[in-house]
Amino acid sequence: MSEFEVRGNNAGVIEVKCSSWLGFMSFIDEKQPAAHGLVYRGQMDSEWPIESTLLRATKADLKHNHTDWVEQAVERVASDWASMRGGMIMQSYAAHLGVQQQQSLTDQQAWMIGRHQGLLTPFVDWSRSPYVAAFFATVEVVERLLEREDRECVVYGISSWLFPFQLSKNSADNGNLARHALKVDAAIYGNRRAIAQQAIATYLFPEIDIQAFVEETNSNRAHDRESLYRITIPYKAAQQALIHLNRMNVNYLSLFPDDFGLAKHANLNLYSPSYAGTGNWMTPPGFETLIPKEESEEHGR
């Protein structure tokens, strides 16, 4: 019995349901060995839309402050509100970053630097590696102790042809192009995390959920072009996925080459004692190492 099932092509979206971590690896190895041009994104919940942190935060803010609005009203104005607020966020961030770095930066440079530091941006993060995406899909399942829930995380693979490297905003106003689409190689700006994660960022204007964008792009085609792979992995497989990915050196240490990555990698020992430990596990250093020797001896009397 196959560990994965491919479920047709619906408006350019290919559904792949994996029953295990082995199923995910088998699909990547067997079906996509030459998948040039695909970039990947992992999400903890397969029900979440693919949207930027800025759009997601704007929707949450609108729902919080306009409790009388229906969902359709939020969706209708969210992109415009996000664009307006994004400009305010960028003005503040770029001004302070420019002073800090003592140089002027383009908006694109500032966005690429800030997005790895928690800045709300209109960009969606992707990676050239399906295994990096799988790490981000599964790690929070383990950290939030969700493995026993009957749910799925997801790895998306999207075709790069949907995102030309450069398009001017003016071209979005003519009749031939209804939406502005941009892809940025985030690693070229020198951010260590972006380089380690083989990061790609995509941008839509006006912004919508990327799966809806794919369906929109294929709506006028005689034959749907395979544009977006939606590969689901059960929560119960997340622990095995992280252990396997760690053996491949896909972990917090490699993807976040800084103090944050060190701490997050060490924390995973709480959820999986065999995951990330080093040294002699029979006699690990305990909290007693924090107590001065003299004080420890005094308590022992």
pLDDT digits (tens, 9 = 90+) for 49-84: 999 888 888 888 888 888 888 787 777 788 787 888
**Residue 290 tokens, joined:** 């924090």
Mean pLDDT along residues 283-300: 60
Question: Mean pLDDT: which of 127-136, 219-228, 268-277 is highest?
Answer: 127-136
Give the pLDDT confidence score for residue 226 in this predicted structure.
76
Give the pLDDT confidence score for residue 172 in this predicted structure.
41
Q: Give the rounded percent of residues in the chain with a pLDDT score beyond 90.
A: 35
Non-local (6+) Cβ contacts of 99 within 8 A are: none
Mean pLDDT along residues 106-115: 78
Mean pLDDT along residues 269-288: 63
What pTM does this model have?
A: 0.82
**Of 129 and 121, more confident:** 129
Give the pLDDT confidence score for residue 242 in this predicted structure.
94
Mean pLDDT along residues 103-118: 77
Mean pLDDT computed over every residue of the chain: 81
**Of 173 and 254, more confident:** 254
Mean pLDDT along residues 243-267: 93
Give the pLDDT confidence score for residue 156 in this predicted structure.
96
User: In which band, very low, low, confident or very high, does the pLDDT at 166 lie, cut at 50, 70 and 90?
Assistant: very low
Mean pLDDT along residues 177-203: 80
Number of other CB atoms surrounding residue 239 within 10 Å: 17
Closest CA to 244 of 131, 140, 165: 131
Question: Mean pLDDT: which of 53-62, 102-111, 159-168, 231-240 is highest?
Answer: 231-240
Tell me which of 85-94, 199-208, 278-287 is least confident: 278-287
**Of 268 and 115, more confident:** 268
Is pLDDT of 91 > 50? yes
**Of 156 and 167, more confident:** 156
State pLDDT tens for residues 242-254. Answer: 999 999 999 999 9
Is pLDDT of 169 > 70? no
- Helix H, strand E, coil C: the string for the chain is CCCEEEEEEECCEEEEEECCHHHHHHHHHHHCCCCCCEEEEEECCCCCCCCCHHHHHHHHHHHHHCCCCCHHHHHHHHHHHHHHHHHHHHHHHHHHHHHHHCCCCCHHHHHHHHHHHCCCCCEEEEECCHHHHHHHHHHHHHHCCCCCCCCEEEEEEEEHHHCCCCCCHHHHHCCCCCCEEEEEEHHHHCCHHHHHCCEEEEEEECCCCHHHHHHHHHCCCCCCCCCEEEEEEEHHHHHHHHHHHHHCCCCHHHHCCCHHHHHHHHHCCCCCCCCCCCCCCCCCCCHHHHCCHHHHHHHHC
